Amino acid sequence: MPTMLPLWLLASLLAMSQALPFEQKGFWDFTLDDGLPMLNDEEASGAETTSGVPDLDSLTPTFSAMCPFGCHCHLRVVQCSDLGLKAVPKEISPDTTLLDLQNNDISELRRDDFKGLQHLYALVLVNNKISKIHEKAFGPLRKLQKLYISKNHLVEIPPNLPSSLVELRIHDNRIRKVPKGVFSGLRHMNCIEMGGNPLENSGFEPGAFDGLKLNYLRISEAKLTGIPKDLPETLNELHLDHNRIQAIELEDLLRYSKLYRLGLGHNQIRMIENGSLSFLPTLRELHLDNNKLSKVPSGLPDLKLLQVVYLHTNNITKVGVNDFCPVGFGVKRAYYNGISLFNNPVPYWEVQPATFRCVTDRLAIQFGNYKK
């Protein structure tokens, strides 16, 4: 994906009209390649009653003639990406609602860099060299809802984040610790993407996520050896793929009963303790591909809403007739529309057809392609 975004894509962030919970269209939509077009921008649930960008026509005064040298300014969007900037430019119009500074050489955010930008809604700082942020740098940004500061050199979560913040994308930095209180007061936050940081389980202080009511959390490509036990109970989506998780024990998922999408692909999971999945009654998608499982996890037939199961590229040698579907009829409310078992050493010709009696279509089942 190109790193420089067309102006109309940036301006699309300003077209929101209604606040809805954060929601993704698919598991793979949220990639590490930073581009605003892949976001679903209906998730805002910020401090304002409308939860979206303030009425652009009501903002007075306007300063449309102001535009930093080399930048492109249109409809209160200021695009200053790919200019080799060493610092946040001056003379940014006070009525700016989106400021794009990605792909520059900014190394520090100073105290007055965003002074007067009280209407700023989205700030894009992706792919700079930021390693230092003044504790009051974000102070003027009282309406900021989206902060994209991925692919920088940060070693800690920025201090004093705006209380209006809804979405924080801070992946691909150098963060090793998430201290207690760092998210204090962020009662509108519902989405955090913090993968690609060298985070271990011990890096999360007890209470680090206290007060947050997140819908979406991604801590992929880190150094986790187990499922964190102190994440927000409100989570609908939890993505922990590309870590070092080796097992799911009985009470690991007890806290996350509201999950409808759980991503655990590309780990080292050998064992899922019986009963572990029973704590996820609303689960719709389960991703366990690219692990070391030797059998289909128990408890899948009891998950009445489960529709997608990724189990490809494991060590599964046998699939039982009741591994996916409940015994009898009328028990499971949702039919599967996706089961992937390819690249496993299971003799698929021996699997009984009744195994997939609660699958919508035979094309929803993926088998074969095992390589010794």
Each residue's pLDDT tens digit in the chain (372 positions)?
444 444 444 444 444 333 344 343 432 233 333 333 333 333 333 333 333 334 434 333 445 568 999 999 999 999 999 999 999 999 899 999 999 999 999 999 999 999 999 999 999 999 999 999 999 999 999 999 999 999 999 999 998 999 999 999 999 999 999 999 899 999 999 999 999 999 999 999 999 999 899 999 999 999 999 999 889 999 999 999 999 999 999 999 999 999 999 999 999 999 999 999 999 999 999 999 999 999 999 999 999 999 999 999 999 999 999 999 988 765 677 899 999 999 999 998 889 989 999 998 888 999 887 565
Q: Could you say which DSSP state residue 178 is in?
A: B
Q: How many C-beta neighbours within 10 Å does residue 20 have?
A: 13
How far is the C-alpha of 28 from the C-alpha of 132, rounded, in Å?
A: 32
Token representation of residue 139: 């102070």
- Options 3.80.10.10, 3.40.50.620, 3.40.50.720, 1.10.10.10; CATH for 66-148 is 3.80.10.10
* Token representation of residue 49: 């009653």
Q: Are strands 72-74 and 77-79 parallel, antiparallel or unpaired?
A: antiparallel
List, as own/partner pairs, every contact residues 20-29 make where C-beta atoms lie below 8 angstroms and the sequence separation is at least 24, other chains included: 20/45, 21/45, 21/190, 21/215, 21/236, 22/167, 22/190, 22/191, 22/215, 22/216, 22/236, 23/215, 24/216, 24/237, 24/261, 27/239, 27/261, 27/263, 27/285, 27/287
Domain 66-148 and domain 245-371, same fold? Reply is yes
Please name which of 308, 243, 333, 359 lies closest in space to residue 27, comparing C-alpha atoms.
Answer: 308
Residue boundaries of the structural domains of the chain = 66-148, 245-371
Instruction: Show the DSSP H helices in the chain as ranges.
Output: 7-11
Helix (H) or strand (E) holding 37: none
* Cβ(241)–Cβ(263) below 8 Å: yes
Nearest to 235 by CA among 209, 215, 260: 215
Fold classification of 245-371 is 3.80.10
For residue 27, the Cα-to-chain-centroid distance in whole angstroms is 10
Beta bridge partners of 77: 74, 98
Distance separating alpha carbons of residues 56 and 60, to the nearest angstrom: 9
